[in-house]
Amino acid sequence: MAKRLFVGNLSWDTTDDSLRAAFAEVGAVESAQVIVDKMSGRSKGFGFVEMATDEEAAKAIEALNGKAIDGRPVTVNEARPMTERSERPAQAPEA
The residue extents of the domains of the chain are 3-78
Predicted local confidence at residue 92, as pLDDT: 63
Provide the whole-model pTM. 0.84
Predicted local confidence at residue 30, as pLDDT: 97
Q: Give the residue ranges of DSSP H helices in the chain.
A: 16-24, 54-64
Predicted confidence pLDDT, tens digits, the chain (95 residues):
679 999 999 999 999 999 999 999 999 999 999 999 999 999 999 999 999 999 999 999 999 999 999 999 999 999 998 787 777 766 666 65
- CATH superfamily for 3-78 is RRM (RNA recognition motif) domain (3.30.70.330)
Cα(48)–Cα(23) distance, rounded to whole angstroms? 11
In our burial notation (b when 16+ CB lie closer than 10 A, e otherwise), range 54-65 reads: eebbeebbeebe
Per the CB < 8 A criterion, the answer to whether 74 and 8 are in contact is yes
